[in-house]
Chain A
């Protein structure tokens, strides 16, 4: 552990001299830890045929040198099949263990790692480094408060999701204890795409309307409402109730059909279409009572 490695050229090249100085101050306390990490990183970098540069947004409200947002550069060995998440993990485990980002399943189902990669919302685990322009710039999701580095506060997103009564409600359950409700295949198909949402927040982050109107339900929550409103098992009265919810002032009518949510959705959910369809349903439903 005594092998002292000089400050790395490859690691943490900060944007300005002043920032560099403060970040180095912070690093002093961690030097012993880093020495071992650096050695392993050196070994892996020297074995690599190709390396790729990551520019990562850094911010920590309580750590000297990170209170002012900055970008750190990390040079990581490129391997075939490497995703943005793999590259971030390499940087964290080899250069700077304080590099912070959410991630868990590594297979695009937990929805933890929606990031702003080279200017668009993507899941880190599902984005191949080879498909991106290098250097790769990684930032937290726009239009959300940054907690630290790439971690944003998701509370507002969750609040919007939960405001549309996101749970199945029906009065018409079959009487037999082991009887299921019937649902025809076509209806299941109709709601299928909407049920794939993984709550990653990419759509909400990409939406200009949501950025300007904090109360706008946003594409994910409206899609959740769609998932239930279109499910025949809930019955007509409930559909009516659901349409009332999404018709509110900050509901479906705010959508300006810019398709940005649909473009970034990592599960290919046709969000804009779902919003449009709910608008049509709402109009139909209103006409019925006139």
Chain B
């Protein structure tokens, strides 16, 4: 068994920042990650990092924009923390040598982004995430932080107290992909989950193949509730054939969207009379799909994004990467013709419930970055707000896990924050575990830290051996059916009937997953096994997204319901919480915190 003070799971932006922060506080840190750090999907982020750095801007404006963008479902203490800490974190990256784009005076460049009242998106070409990822990995190398790469964490080692709030996380179980060994990692200080996105729940996504929601699924089954899972961001400009992202930076620099009739529909069809193409992402995605559904798309599938008028010089200077992406993945030269684009799954606002220090209700278990929900983004994330989230909350979680006092958090977590229980939700099938759930056998007997880890290792070893030895069906067909159902029914436009159908398919997938088997008998680099475990996680994540979507009978941010076309503040100004509850998921709500440091945010009509 390995032992460290802090174990960070995942090595993208949030994980790297957490590891560096914990190490700076004197902790012995290990990063355990299924991909080598530089392979992480943070590297695919293009647009930039929002931070109030300049005269005329301040953190309060950033916080206000973020709250408005969230459609008033973000928690003020988390949003204000993001806005306050972002400038320092961005400058820290610059001091670590990150190659930001520069102004004539040598200072870092910022550009306009959707939903922002000031051009505060700090960028490095259209490959900001790549530079952020590599810059932070360089710091990890410099500090000699231990990285266990190609180790797949498949379970958390948590005590088995009845109440999640009494549980403690003592480590993780990982599968060494190269050797096939199942190994325990004991964390004396804390475990930080930084596993990133879960876009593989959907068919058409900008997410990497590795973005399978491992963190949310593991934390959920270990007792930490998941929050606002119904809020999934669909990015308006992805390439139709692959889902590759075309940065919002294109529209930020002046790119224009046209429908099949050559109309600049964002204005001409009245979707966003002021902000046009730079309205919030949910608004633009719905506009595009409405155009397509009403017959004004191109090939009934996409609209066009034109940036030719910006001129080759400006495009090459600020968006060069876009030229390569459009050429390599769609066969289009964007200097000569418009790019076909359509909405694609991009980011998950929901995730593991944490406070603004990154801590969950399970003692010693932290989460940061996309896998977490603090909640900063509420029902819709603004472009340029994901990267500051990674570094701000990654750093805080790392520091806290290393034992630093960050003060008492104001965002309440855990089932005790419940304000009401959802007991009227009618589902066509039961969600949750089939039969007895053996992930956490809650009898309160298992509390000694190394025993907790050893027990988890044994459980996981048995599970993995079982999948390797038995005959059964391949996970790939289950995954494909799951992705299809989610894309058909839990996409941008949602109906009660569709959501119920999705729940039925998810249930079928869960039943079939009981018979899943790994046909590759090898202990060496068995990706068949890894993908099979991931598919199990996708099922849990998909179910929570769909349950949340069915429960929330209003239209807010990225969550659109056919039968409920209004934001209903009187009944829905609250977070949707789902607790695994030993395999019988329980839905409940907790209030949104709109009380900020020195003001109360007043929900207003959100128009752009």
Contact = CB atoms under 8 A, between A and B. Distances in A.
Interface of A: 1, 26, 29-30, 32-34, 36-37, 40, 60-63, 66, 81, 92-94, 97-98, 100-112, 126, 147-149, 151, 154, 158, 162, 165-168, 170, 173, 177-185, 188, 191-192, 195-196, 198-199, 228, 231, 233-234
Contacts of A231: 97, 99
B525 interface: yes
A233 B95 CA distance: 9
Given A158-B36, A178-B53, A107 B131 contact: no
Interface of B: 35-36, 38-41, 43-44, 53, 87-88, 91, 94-97, 99-108, 125, 127, 130-131, 134-135, 138-139, 141-142, 178, 208-210, 241-245, 324-325, 328-331, 471-474, 476-477, 480, 517-528, 531
Contacts of A110: 35, 38-41, 43-44, 208
Contacts of A109: 43-44, 127, 130
A180 B91 contact: yes
Q: Which 8 A-B pairs have the closest CB atoms?
A: A168-B97, A182-B106, A98-B520, A30-B519, A167-B138, A167-B142, A33-B519, A93-B476
Nearest to A266: B328
A37 to B, nearest CB: 5
A148 B522 contact: yes
Contacts, number: 183
A112 B97 contact: no
B249 to A, nearest CB: 15
Contacts of A32: 471-472, 517
A231 B135 CA distance: 14
A97 B97 contact: no
A177 B90 CA distance: 11
A62 B524 contact: yes
Contact of B88 (A166, A178, A181, A188): A178
Contacts of A167: 96-97, 138-139, 141-142
Contacts of B522: 60, 62-63, 66, 98, 148
Contact of B519 (A98, A166, A185, A196): A98
A168 B96 contact: yes
Contacts of A185: 102-104, 106
Contacts of B244: 106-107
A192 B130 contact: no
B92 to A, nearest CB: 10
A146 to B, nearest CB: 10
A205 to B, nearest CB: 16
A92 to B, nearest CB: 8
B493 to A, nearest CB: 26
B346 to A, nearest CB: 13
A109 B38 CA distance: 9
Which of A97, A102, A147 has its CB near the most chain B CB atoms (within 10 A)?
A97
A162 B141 contact: yes
Contacts of B101: 188
A62 B523 contact: yes
Contacts of A101: 527
A179 B520 contact: no
